[in-house]
Chains A and B, each alone.
Chain A
Amino acid sequence: MQWRNIIYQYDGSFDGLLCCVFESYTQKERPTAITCDEDACLFEIRSVVTVPEHAARISRSLRKLSPDVLPLLRRVFLTHLPDKELAIYRFIVKLYREGAPYLTRLSDDAYQPLLRAARQLATEVEHLRGFLRFSVYDGVLGAEIEPKNRVLPLLRSHFCERCRNESFFIYDRTHHEALLYSGGRSHIVPLDDFRLAPPDEEEAAYRKLWKRFYDTIAIRERENPRGRMTKMPKRYWSTMTEFQPENDVGCGDGQIVHDKHGFKNAASPAASPARGAPGARSAPAIRPESAPPAPA
């Protein structure tokens, strides 16, 4: 059959993306791009409305082929794979065409990039489980991260279990969203701007103790900076306590966004959703005032 070329615009949600797949089959079209940008270009654009039943039909058909497909695609959707929407779309089309056996063709060109992206996401999640650093503010734990992928949904269960009796928040500087947890309930909310408060005395003391431990535990005769860098890439260092200068073990200075009721304060933007639904393309993540340079 003859497929028409067109660009789809969707709402940035995973269900929205499934609706694009639905649309393409009902309209017999092949999208050349799938985007949530408002201002696209010269080509014909169709705005695809997210209809839950349409998404559910696609989900069902995928689940029938294998129970593992949807979870995989959901994870790929959180990655920063270039044109991930189109990649996911192409994968689904191929899967429909070839059926379940396609899922064993791990090295296929439409499949392997997805697997790789999902693997990289898993690695980043694994890294951040370890490299994330909380600060304690009046009993509330707060952290900032700068991940490449949208990791908060995948960090959620780990930290909720680890810190079950605590209240905590984790702010994702790259994607401008925060994971909030208190009293057994967690939420992920968009949050435009946020900076951690400077440490109080006890917090500063713990940072200093940790830094000292970190510096002492290395064996000089085995020094291996490149080995360390491969296992713990430098991009994580900007939010790690042990790499902040001694006299400024705080992560920011001045402007206190967080106050005594920091948790509530951080949560407030949830009431009035900030720019971009979760899943929207990440905005540039440059916030020069934070993240003092890590020592070389």
Chain B
Amino acid sequence: MTSEQITTLFGLMLRYTVPTLKIFGFTLLYSIPLGMIVALLKMCRFKPVSWLTNVYILIMRGTPLLLQLIVAQYSVPYILQSSLCPGFLRSLLENVDIRSDSYIFNMMLIAFVLNYAAYFAEIFRGGIEAIPKGQYEAAGSLGFSKLQTFFRIILPQVVKRVVPASSNEIITLIKDTSLASAIPYMEIMYIAKKQVPTYASLMPLFIAGIFYFVFATVLTLLFSFIEKKLDYYK
């Protein structure tokens, strides 16, 4: 390949980092808070809630993300076909245009978010459960409300504990965005695969690899910086 061709490919891929980063950013934006909520639901003392939450986590972690992404894309027509579909859901879904870009993106995002929330939930639950009971008792005896205790005393300590495990998940996510190419959704991986026959070369895939590598490395550095920042105690 000529160097012009390589430059063209780089430029092309650079444009497609936008959809890749869009999946990455929105997934984090929704899956981290949702993961916290799921963690709290799993710790709920009302057993049916905790049990149902656990079923959700088991399914999300026990089946491939790729499968979940594809199921999400096909789900609406099949739900509409089902006789079990309640009326309000039917009227809601019937207005959805399943060929629109926004539909494809939203269903994909739902699958990413639900999957990653399950992983984050397990990390957050571990972090919350690792906080000694004495912290709650000290806060309680000082008159902090339950909400104040959670947000001022517990959560900051949980954050420090979950950063290492969460950063692994986040670095995995930037690479997992490539699964979107199978939907298909046009991001780096999709465009790289498409260029292979055009150029009769592996160079497009190699360049895509460089992009993922750079993202993952930047994230690794960022998280080791954050871990150091949080190292001011214990």
Chain B binds chain A = no
State the A residues within 8 Å of B (CB). Answer: none
State the B residues within 8 Å of A (CB). Answer: none
